[in-house]
Amino acid sequence: MTTESDISVDPRYAQSSGKVETLIEALPWMQRYHDEIIVVKFGGNAMIDPELIEAFASDIAFMRYAGVKPVVVHGGGPHISRMLDRLGIESEFRAGYRYTSEEAMEVVRMVLGGQVARELVSAINDLAPVATGTSGEDAGLFQAKRKTTDAAGNPVDLGLVGEIVAVNPNVVSADIAAGRIPVVSTIASDLDQPRKALNINADRAAAALAVALGAKKLVMLTDVEGLYRNWPDKSSLAASITAEELRGMLPTLESGMIPKAQACLEAIDGGVKHATIIDGRVPHSTLLEIFTKDGFGTEVTD
Ligand SMILES: Nc1ncnc2c1ncn2[C@@H]1O[C@H](COP(=O)(O)OP(=O)(O)O)[C@@H](O)[C@H]1O
Ligand SMILES: CC(=O)N[C@@H](CCC(=O)OP(=O)(O)O)C(=O)O
């Protein structure tokens, strides 16, 4: 028979108690998110590191087996830039969005749907064979119009960049209902030219989908620790920020943080309870954000 004194001297029990604490810490979060949809946007530089892709895939598989309904929306800006470079096609960011010519659009569509989505789907399927790739062009998922203004409302020429005006989430909902893990590429059909596609910023698409699905949470991975109130001052990282304060900051934000901040606001305004920006360079940051009390990065609150 094992007595209390045996337990106190056995190092295996000492080790287990730390593991048990971590598991028990996850319980309230598992309860909160059980059967709930969480949209996770994976993008940027985290996506070009094979180890981070593996860690991300295991976090998504973990969520699914823990009873959450994850939906992945992926970016792939660095992949697109690399391919455009290889093909000698110029690309330029304006107001946080890629100016997209007809030629570049062909590359965006090919890279997102044919390369990035495939890589992610197969990494997740290796652990949970229920991932499925969907393009925003499928079954009217993302319908968009050309984007013609920047965050401050000034006119800007972005070529074939779209702003989502309608989402038909049925194709994704059906996958979720069947127990699958949707992995969504952010191309949209052009409402004004139905055979044409538009390039959608992945942060904005993730927010629009989170709202349409009634997701409980939107998590966005990026290549910094979170949102800095006073970029690039590293001591100004915001652990949490209200939607109102963030709205006020919009005109001061730069580059990629513009669509990310807009996406958080769109999600919160659309009824998603929690929107967070986390550091995708930290392996398993998604899991830590969702299942531990400390969370990670910046939480936008209503
Ligand atoms: N206030 C800010 N806080 C954090 N990052 C900011 C801020 N303003 C601008 N940035 C820039 O935004 C970048 C993140 O956007 P982006 O590169 O598009 O991310 P991703 O590719 O992960 O979607 C950061 O690497 C940083 O250079
Ligand atoms: C209009 C626009 O800027 N579209 C993005 C789509 C991919 C994306 O958003 O990728 P990340 O999340 O990795 O940045 C682009 O062409 O780069």
N-term to C-term CA, the chain? 55
Percent of the chain with pLDDT over 90: 82
User: In this predicted structure, what is the pLDDT of residue 2?
Assistant: 53
- The runs of H, that is alpha helices, within 214-252 are 243-249
For residue 126, the domain's CATH number is 3.40.1160.10
Higher-confidence residue of 152 and 76: namely 76
| Domain limits for position 294 | 31-301
Residue of 114, 27, 131 whose CA lies nearest to 69: 131
- Residue 23 resides in a domain: no
* Residue to mutate (ligand 2; options 81, 183, 201; most atoms within 8 A of CB): 201
- Is 77's pLDDT higher than 90? yes
Q: In the Cβ-directed half-sphere of 289, how many Cα atoms lie within 13 Å?
A: 30
User: In this predicted structure, what is the pLDDT of residue 4?
Assistant: 54
Number of domains in the chain: 1
**Is residue 255 very low, low, confident or very high in pLDDT (cuts 50, 70, 90)?**
confident
Residue of 130, 113, 123, 132 whose CA lies nearest to 49: 123
User: In this predicted structure, what is the pLDDT of residue 86?
Assistant: 97
- Residue 7 resides in a domain: no
- The three-class DSSP label of residue 107 is helix
* Residue to mutate (ligand 2; options 199, 258, 281; most atoms within 8 A of CB): 199
Residue-wise pLDDT tens digits, 204-222: 999 999 999 999 999 999 9
CA-only gyration radius of the chain, Å: 20
Mean pLDDT of the chain: 93
- Residue 186 resides in a domain: yes
- Residue 215 resides in a domain: yes
The residue type at 149: T
User: In this predicted structure, what is the pLDDT of residue 145?
Assistant: 98
C-beta 111 within 6 A of ligand 2:
no
Question: pTM higher than 0.90 for the full model?
Answer: yes
User: In this predicted structure, what is the pLDDT of residue 296?
Assistant: 77
- Residue 9 resides in a domain: no
- Residue 14 resides in a domain: no
Residue-wise pLDDT tens digits, 26-51: 999 999 999 999 999 998 777 889 99
Averaged pLDDT, 230-237: 92
- Residue 114 resides in a domain: yes
- The interface pTM score, or ipTM, of the predicted complex is 0.96
- Residue 15 resides in a domain: no
Tell me the CA distances in angstroms from 225 to 72, 155, 278, 299, one per residue in order. 20, 31, 6, 12
Instruction: List binding-site positions for substrate.
Output: 76-77, 98, 199
Which of the residue ranges 43-47, 109-113, 147-151, 289-293 has the most confident prediction, judged by mean pLDDT?
A: 109-113
User: In this predicted structure, what is the pLDDT of residue 46?
Assistant: 77
Torsion of CA 134, 137, 140, 145, to 10 degrees: 140
- Is 5's pLDDT higher than 60? no
